[in-house]
Structure 1
Amino acid sequence: MELYNRTSPETYSGRASNQNLYVHEKVLCVDVSSLEKSSDKRVALLGYACDEGVKRNQGRFGAVKGPDAIRKKLGKLPNHLDDETALLDVGSIHCSNADLETAQDKLAHQVQQLLNGNLFPIVLGGGHDIAYGTYNGIKKYLGNAKSIGIINFDAHFDLRSNQDGNTSGTPFYQIAKDCEASGTAFHYLCLGIREDANDSSLFKTAKELDVKYILRDTFRIEFHNEINAWINAFIQNVDAVYVTIDLDGFSSAYAPGVSAPSPMGFTPDVVLASLKTIIASGKLTALDIAELNPTYDIDDQTARLAASLVHSVIHSL
């Protein structure tokens, strides 16, 4: 299998208006190699069709089909973008021969190219190993002189050691070690962490790496003002922000189709409210969504949630 393929326009469908009233009428599927730098406002959807990291982490297979599942639901949603804003689908990165590391490197390269071309990347996954690729693309674009703050909506720290190889549970540990090697600061904020989803060694690692986090018990809409204060304090200390949303952080009442479901997760309202705060900072540089597993979805509920999150972000930028 090739490491990259262009998205077929037929992936997007929905009600026809002939007036660009729906996303499927607005989105343009292009080859990533054909993009040129532009001063126009442009959003780029890039798929990461890979669940090799999930397999290595002993999770449920199926996230490889996540990007197209999100695209299909996104296409049916209404379009409120102005005519001057371009919405581009720039294809998908694939993992060939279980070579996760090469797929992550390819993703990093593509994210860097999108940022170089003045596009805002939204990466659709795929396992949460997506984070190592997206982050490195931002890092290659900004260089070591700029600090990057990672905000992860997730039940899990994903700070497992990669001593035995990279997985969907190791990306932020990898990033921390890369920061240590380059002499740069590791800025990491986790929203929605659950004690029943992380063992004591992961909490110890988080403390050692000075990870900031809000537990699920506190990550609730009724504490929105306090959460805003924590997010803003975190953002003030960095030059750029990278947001990653792991769908398994949501309660399985909203997201049954994930690699590691749980009814104890958070709700969409607090995530949407937090995203508004992050976007308002003007520092959001890229975003990805991980762990959609269509194999286990119920009535496409998780795909619809992911598509609605993407829809909200592209209309808020």
Structure 2
Amino acid sequence: MATYKKPSSKIWSGRTSAQQLYLHEKVQCLPITKIEKQTQKSFAVLGYACDEGVKRNQGRIGAKDGPYHIRKALGKMPNHLPNEMALLDFGDVVCADGDMEAAQQQLTDHTAKLLASGTFPILLGGGHDIAYGHYNGIKKYLISEKRRPSIGIINFDAHFDLRDDINGANSGTPFYQIANENDPFHYLCLGIRKDANDRMLFQTAHELDTKFLERETFRMQFVDEINKWIIAFLKGVDQVYVTIDLDGFSSAFAPGVSAASPMGYSQDIVLESLKTILASEKLISLDIAEMNPRYDVDGRTAKLAASIMHYLIHNM
């Protein structure tokens, strides 16, 4: 089973002012049952407090607490949003009794509701199995609107997450599941590492016509070439869903993840890539996955995730 946890204003704290200078003063906490059609530009935060998929994938558990710590870090950051723009927290989907599938289904339903309300969803994980529920929520919304545009997935990650689900789903299977249920399958991975994917995963990626750039190429010195890849991918889809797996970053920047490595990429190239994606005006939703506070150092990973969110909401 899956449960839903209402948002808590106590999570959001920081310096106080009389002018909403900080995001904890800007955010509004609303239960998902109170969601209404938005008449103003708004961002909706929804957590996926689940690391069952990581556990099944033999990773380090602890990511279920990721959404809490990302919120804590974001709340302390400065608010530069205009008064008419809203930042809304709709609480968490919680995985209970190891029922990841029920949590993913609830995430699907809530994501569709957020999109239908006119908000821009920012989902916080939790394991990367967040992607399966998130994608299906986007798809459900588009179908309800009688729209069938092609949905592209851009995954910032060290891993393809294209493991087969013959023995059940986990945090390493979401894009394989999506590929099997959707034709065509539009998938671009940025930051792939050979020391993080076996040869069978590379073979699966080729069979599914996955586009990818390896970590050696995903660096600032190749930013122009990277942007060409992103722009070419975007031309082939109508909407794009972005998912950012924090374990793709070097552990120098993100030690608090389920599968840390010093061989990852830097935050600079991710922000430059996001700038290109935002310029296309095709971005429909975004999530951040694999935040594991159990292994974080001085809140470094939570601050990285929060800074990415801060960049996103201030540059859309």
When the two structures are superposed, what TM-score results if normalisation uses the length of structure 2? 0.98
Q: Residues 44-63 of structure 1 correspond to what in structure 2 (within 5 A)?
A: 44-63=44-63
- Structure 2 partner of 1:136: 136
Identity over the aligned pairs, expressed in percent? Answer: 63
The one-letter amino acid paired with 2:137 is: G
1:2 is displaced (CA, Å) by 6.1
Unpaired stretches in structure 2, ≥5 consecutive residues: none
When the two structures are superposed, what TM-score results if normalisation uses the length of structure 1? 0.98
1:70 is displaced (CA, Å) by 0.1
1:78-106 superposed Cα distances (whole Å, 9 cap, x missing partner)? 00000110000011000011000010010
- Structure 1 partner of 2:284: 285
1:32 is displaced (CA, Å) by 1.0
1:40 is displaced (CA, Å) by 1.1
The one-letter amino acid paired with 1:240 is: Q
1:3-60 superposed Cα distances (whole Å, 9 cap, x missing partner)? 1111110101000012110000000111111011123101000000000000000000
1:275 is displaced (CA, Å) by 0.4
8 Å Cα contact 2:2/2:99 also seen in 1 = no
The one-letter amino acid paired with 1:153 is: F
Secondary structure (helix, strand or coil) at the match of 1:251 reads coil
- Structure 2 partner of 1:312: 311
The one-letter amino acid paired with 2:244 is: I
Unpaired stretches in structure 1, ≥5 consecutive residues: none
Secondary structure (helix, strand or coil) at the match of 1:36 reads coil
Q: Residues 207-286 of structure 1 correspond to what in structure 2 (within 5 A)?
A: 207-286=206-285
Is the counterpart of residue 174 in structure 1 residue 193 in structure 2? Answer: no
Separation in 1, partners of 2:69, 2:49:
11
1:260 is displaced (CA, Å) by 0.3
Separation in 2, partners of 1:38, 1:20:
21
The one-letter amino acid paired with 1:220 is: R
The one-letter amino acid paired with 2:63 is: A
1:215 is displaced (CA, Å) by 0.4
Q: Which portions of structure 1, spanning 4 or more consecutive aligned residues, are displaced by more than 6 angstroms?
A: none
Secondary structure (helix, strand or coil) at the match of 1:161 reads coil
- Alpha carbon RMSD of aligned pairs, Å? 0.9
1:276 is displaced (CA, Å) by 0.6
- Structure 1 partner of 2:30: 30
Is the counterpart of residue 42 in structure 1 residue 26 in structure 2? Answer: no
